[in-house]
Amino acid sequence: MAGLALEGPNPDVDVLDGINGLAKDAPHWVNKAMEYIGEYGIIAGLGVLCLIAWWAARRRPDAPSVVAGLVWAPLAAGLALLANIPIRGFVERPRPFKDHAGLEVLIPGKSDFSFVSDHATLTMAVGVGLFLAHRKYGLIGIALALAEGFCRVYMGVHYPTDVIGGFALGTAVALLLAPLAQALLVPLTTAIGRSKAAWLVRAPGADGAAGQDAEGSRVVAAGSAMPRGHKDKDLAA
């Protein structure tokens, strides 16, 4: 397939030129920072966010279900990246800098196809997976994913539609497979919680009757049961 070419005015290219044009006028240190953030930094930040969410979840009375939901977030990202392999091979869209001269390319030399963005796919899958387990951490994760998408266009390595496609793919995998993932992961985390490795699921000395985390927000794993009339805003898949 020839890669999403459009005749006439192309909003995709217009947005690319507008965002990437910021890099042309930015100081060198800003572009170096954006390069690091867009290539590695946001992904590392999501990893730290998952660890923070896991650390807090171990003190929940429903810790096995919550931890299972948090484990699903990176697993969803991995599955979404695998799903992207045939999509890229089918669409075969070249990187924008190969078809449009004059872009400020912060990471030259990328030779793989552009649609859809792996970085956007991975980060949004993690963000949505976190959102299913805990709204507060999930919103932070989704915000980081949106920042990742901006960075990829700013860096000149993806079209905006590459990023949007990645967001859609990551979201679809995280949402559609969440019920199956919970059905498989909750028994596993429950078993671990009763083993010598119980600290992975439940914090030592944690009060099983504790009802709120440090900020009073309720943590609900994807697929976990909620009491009737529950007024909290966290979601279950």
Please enumerate in sequence order all residues whose Cβ is within 8 A of that of 78, keeping only pairs 6 or more positions apart, or say none.
none
Transcribe 158-181 into DSSP letters. Answer: S-HHHHHHHHHHHHHHHHHTHHHH
Q: pLDDT at residue 231 above 90? A: no
| pLDDT score of 219 | 39
Residues 44-66, mean pLDDT to the nearest whole number: 93
| pLDDT score of 22 | 93
Distance of alpha carbon 104 from alpha carbon 27, whole angstroms? 12
Q: What separation in angstroms does the CA of 165 have from each of 19, 54, 70, 80, 160? A: 18, 29, 24, 12, 9
Distance of alpha carbon 224 from alpha carbon 68, whole angstroms? 10
What's the pLDDT tens digit per position in 80-107? 999 999 999 999 899 998 888 888 888 8
Where are the chain's structural domains? 13-195
| Residue 8's pLDDT band (cuts 50, 70, 90) | low
Residues 36-41, mean pLDDT to the nearest whole number: 94
Other C-beta atoms closer than 10 Å to the C-beta of 223 total 21
Q: pLDDT at residue 232 above 60? A: no
Residues 120-145, mean pLDDT to the nearest whole number: 96
| pLDDT score of 205 | 73
Mean pLDDT of the chain: 85
Residues 20-47, mean pLDDT to the nearest whole number: 94
Residue bearing the bigger pLDDT, 139 or 112: 139
**Backbone torsions φ then ψ of 60, nearest 5 degrees:** -80, 150
> Is residue 113 within 8 Å of residue 97, measured between CB atoms?
no
| pLDDT score of 143 | 97
- State how far Cα 113 lies from the chain centre: 20
| Residue 223's pLDDT band (cuts 50, 70, 90) | very low
Q: pLDDT at residue 222 above 90? A: no
| pLDDT score of 190 | 92
What's the pLDDT tens digit per position in 139-196? 999 999 999 999 999 999 999 999 999 999 999 999 999 999 999 999 999 999 899 9
Distance of alpha carbon 145 from alpha carbon 84, whole angstroms? 17
> Is residue 60 within 8 Å of residue 210, measured between CB atoms?
yes
Q: pLDDT at residue 3 above 80? A: no
Judged on CB neighbours under 10 Å (0-12, 13-18, 19+), 155 is buried
| pLDDT score of 7 | 52
Tokens of 61: 């009375």
Pick the closest to residue 76 from 129, 40, 148, 141 (CA basis). 129
| pLDDT score of 72 | 96
Q: pLDDT at residue 218 above 70? A: no
Residues 52-87 as b or e (16 or more Cβ within 10 Å = b): ebbebbbbbebbbbbbbbbbbbbbbbebbbebbeee
| pLDDT score of 82 | 97
Is the pTM here over 0.85, yes or no? no
| pLDDT score of 157 | 93
| pLDDT score of 144 | 97
For the domain spanning 13-195, the CATH number is 1.20.144
